Amino acid sequence: MKKLITTVAVAALLSSTTAFSASQSSVVQADIDKFQGYFNKRFPELTLNDFSKGPYAMSADKMLQFEAAMDLPPFEDLVEKGEKLWNTPFKNGETYSSCFPGGDENIRANYPKWDAAKGKVVGLEGAIINCRVKNGEKKIGSGKGKLAYMGAYLTGLAEGKKINVIVPEGDAKALAAYEEGKKFFYSKRGQLNLSCANCHVDNAGQRIRGNTLSPALGHTTHFPVWRGKWAKKKGDGFGTIQRRYGGCNKQVRAQPFKRQKDEYNNLEFFHTAMSNGMEISGTEVRE
């Protein structure tokens, strides 16, 4: 009986430790509440999940254009390529799914995530590359191409799942990475001296060069996306969120950082956490 009680007590301790380690940082939760509260107050006519449609949710005409484009999406064949790539076994017989326990449909909503063993943030695209290397395969390019196709396939599978990025309570290194991402988001850069927040928080919904600036809330619910702008550049139109970060940096005339490195990984960590609780909307079209 004593042995049984001891076993149960240890199990309970391990269970509570696991729950604690997986709980959201109170600092981060306060930021999320403030961030989402700002947008809810500024755009009271929109629900939380409406923000996933960005500028389309702010204009009936633009929403009609979006819905028309999504009736015959120009990316279906590329998502099918992503599905085939994802499910094709490596030379050792393993598949990508072997690196991501818990079901393929649950993967997208939990990335980017803090990797305590590596001591850094790992985004989904980086995790896919790591999976390849772990299984004896070569790295592939990030930002577009095969990596974007697989990411889009996983985003489609995750449609309806809620974003759940955790910065573990009590983990100083994880919080520091998050704070670096937050600092990046609010720091001005480039010759135009603009921050991510200047465009996508302060001026969200405003017009610029014929386009409507999208709200930062909900940005990460639908990436990788197909963009008409990217398709015109002799490409297939698909790109990851970190490809978009690089494009934004160029637009303010700042030197972009390398993808899957700390600068953009930490930014994505903060940026995605701000949309916690929002539903993944699946792969979508953008201008």
pTM of structure: 0.91
Q: Do the annotations mark residue 189 as ligand-binding? A: no
Domain that holds residue 65: 24-279
Q: Are 52 and 278 in contact (CB under 8 A)?
A: yes
Q: What are phi and psi of 262, to 5 degrees?
A: -55, -40
Q: State the chain's mean pLDDT as an integer.
A: 92
Q: Residue 199, annotated ligand binder?
A: yes
* CATH number of 181's domain: 1.10.760.10
The pLDDT-based confidence of 16 (bands split at 50, 70, 90) is very low
For the cut 90, the answer to whether the pLDDT of residue 210 exceeds it is no
Separation of first and last alpha carbons in the chain? 67
| Residue closest to 128 by CA, chosen among 156, 148, 114, 109 | 148
Residue 10 in domain: no
60 belongs to a structural domain? yes
Alpha carbon distance 63, 65 (integer Å) = 5
**pLDDT one-digit tens code per residue, 258-274:** 999 999 999 999 999 99
d(CA 200, CA 187): 13
Residue 188 lies in a domain: yes
Q: Is 271 annotated as a binding residue?
A: no
In a domain, 285, yes or no: no
pLDDT at 234: 75
Q: Is the pLDDT of residue 17 over 70?
A: no
Cβ atoms 197, 216 nearer than 8 A: yes
Q: 137 — alpha (psi -120 to 50), left (phi > 0) or beta?
A: beta
Question: Under a CB-based contact definition with an 8 Å cutoff, are residues 287 and 247 in contact?
Answer: no
Residue with tokens 């909503």: 109
How far CA 179 is from CA of 11, 182, 246, 260, in Å, comes to 34, 5, 20, 17
User: Residue 3, SS3?
Assistant: helix
Quick one: DSSP state of residue 152? H
Record the tokens describing residue 67, joined without a space. 């819905």
| Lookup: tokens for 272 | 């995605």
Of residues 134 and 15, more confidently modeled: 134
Tell whether 13 is covered by a domain.
no
Residue 15 inside a domain? The answer is no
User: Is a pLDDT exceeding 90 seen at residue 8?
Assistant: no
For range 162-183, the mean pLDDT: 98
Rounded to whole angstroms, the Cα distance separating 242 from 52 reads: 17
* Span 100-112, pLDDT tens digits: 999 999 999 999 9
Average pLDDT over residues 248-261: 96
DSSP string, 236-257: -SEE-HHHHHHHHHHHTT-PPP
> What is the rounded CA–CA span in Å between residue 1 and residue 193?
69
Q: Which position has the token pair 């949309």?
A: 275
> CA of 14: how far to CAs of 23, 78, 113, 174, in Å?
14, 44, 22, 21
Question: Active site residue: 69, 248, 252, 254, which one?
Answer: 248
- Quickly state the pLDDT bin for 211 (edges 50, 70, 90): confident
Can you give the pLDDT at residue 235? 83
Q: Is 284 inside any structural domain? A: no
DSSP letter (8 states) at residue 1: -
Interval 24-50: pLDDT, tens: 999 999 999 999 999 999 999 999 999
Task: Record the tokens describing residue 119, joined without a space.
Answer: 């001591």
- The band of 208, judged by pLDDT with boundaries at 50, 70 and 90, is confident
Query: For this structure, is 242 an active site residue?
Result: no
pLDDT in tens, 46-99: 999 999 999 999 999 999 999 999 999 999 999 999 999 999 999 999 999 999
- Phi/psi for 207 (5° steps) reads -90, 140
Q: Who's near 44: CB < 8 A, 6+ residues apart? A: none
Domains: count for the chain: 1
Note whether residue 221 is domain-resident.
yes
When pLDDT is cut at 50, 70 and 90, the band that residue 148 belongs to is: very high
Is 244 annotated as contributing to ligand binding? Answer: yes
CB contact set of 147 (below 8 Å; sequence gap of 6+): 125, 128, 129, 140, 141, 240
Return left, alpha or beta for 283; rule: phi > 0 is left, psi -120 to 50 is alpha, else beta. Answer: beta
